[in-house]
Structure formats: C-alpha cells, structure tokens
Amino acid sequence: MRLFLPSLTALMLALASHMAVAQSVTVENAQVRAVPPVSTTSAAFMVLHNAGDEDVEIVAASSPAAEVLELHEHQHADGVMQMRHVSEVSIPAGGSTELAPGGLHLMLINLTQSLDEGERVAITLEFANGETLSFEAPVLPVNTRQQASHGKAH
C-alpha cells in the first residue's frame, strides 16, 4: 500500500496540472467586430495569455451568436491576402498570442443575431485536453489602423 500511495499522488498531481489548462489562460481586450444587419459573418479578436508551464492549444470555439465559430488566419500568398481555417491556435508557456485583424482571429459564420455596437457576445474556447474557457466580448467597430499592423504570436 505504501508503494501505491506515492504513485497515486504523482498521478493525481500530473492530472491536476494537465486539467488546469483553462485556469492558466486569461483573455484580454476581447472584442467582436460590429457588422451591418445584412452581414452573415464577423470576427473576434483578443490577446490570450498563458501563465502555465506548458504550451496550450485551442482546438475549437463556439458562440450562440453564430452557427459556426472557426479559428482562422490571414496569409499573403502570391501577393494576395487570403484567409484560411486553422486546426489550432497555440499559446506559448509563459507567453501570449494575439488574435487581431490581419492575422489569427476567430471567424463567426452564419450569424444568429445582429452584432450591434455595445452588445456583448458569449464565446467559449475549447482546449486540446477538452477543457473550456467561456467569456463575453463587447461588440465594437473595427479599428482600421490596427487591422494593418497586428496578428502575430509573441
């Protein structure tokens, strides 16, 4: 029994540190782009901080404001800016990743509600270990100066 307890304790500590992913991640400056009522898509931006000792991967996202919420990035290909779906967004241990216009972002597809300035949108991020982190982001007008200069991981 004595040999079993230290092994069990080590396993429980390992599981606890692995399951605390959502607790190590914080969201800063979250916002959803305000769009006209006829729009069917929008985008969400934020800075994600990881205070943990291991890299964290976001593998999915959801929101009641859209039928689909995808992880996206902008890339320059043959002189043309293209947007594409990505399977995950990594947040480095002890670091941050910025989701911003012109780079990584969350794409809200087939909106289920209007996104008027001043409203709040619920968003849930899902991590690779199955944990989730939910928060609300205000709907704000797009900042076109910011759009041209951001979108890189730190």
Q: 9-31, pLDDT tens digit by residue?
A: 555 555 554 446 778 999 999 99
For residue 14, the surrounding DSSP H or E stretch is helix 4-19
Single pTM value for the model: 0.77
Q: pLDDT digit string (tens) for 80-108?
A: 766 787 899 999 999 999 999 989 999 99
Report CA-CA distances (Å) from 24 to 114, 134, 152: 32, 13, 20
| Phi, psi (deg, nearest 5) at residue 23 | -75, -25
Write down the architecture of domain 4-147 according to CATH.
Sandwich (2.60)
71: pLDDT strictly greater than 60: yes
